Amino acid sequence: MNWHDFIICFFSGAFAANAVPHFVYGIAGDRFPTPFAHPPGKGLSSPRVNVLWALCNIVACYALFHIGHVWDGGLAAHASFFAGVALLGIFSSGHFAQRQR
């Protein structure tokens, strides 16, 4: 694998992690921030917008998953994917914890 494949694997994981809260909030019928809210990323978007945004993230994750050869790239590709999931998850938890205070 080339070095850029690891970056692609990382962003595939980041898109996967980003899809989860948007999809969960959307199907639960709750409002949640998206880039399309006013102000972007701070205002709340409708549940339908959140589901659509989650689906866009899933498509991006899927495309990068294949481009970066995550499935057949071995342990290093899997670790890079997991690092993307973990880092975006940790960042998001801190960001939204501060937002709810």
> How much is the pTM?
0.90
User: How confident is the model at residue 100, as a pLDDT?
Assistant: 58
Give the residue-averaged pLDDT of 29-42. 90
Phi-psi region of 36 (alpha: psi -120 to 50; beta: other; left: phi over 0): alpha
Give the residue-averaged pLDDT of 58-75. 93
18 Cβ contact list (under 8 Å, min separation 6): 57, 88, 92
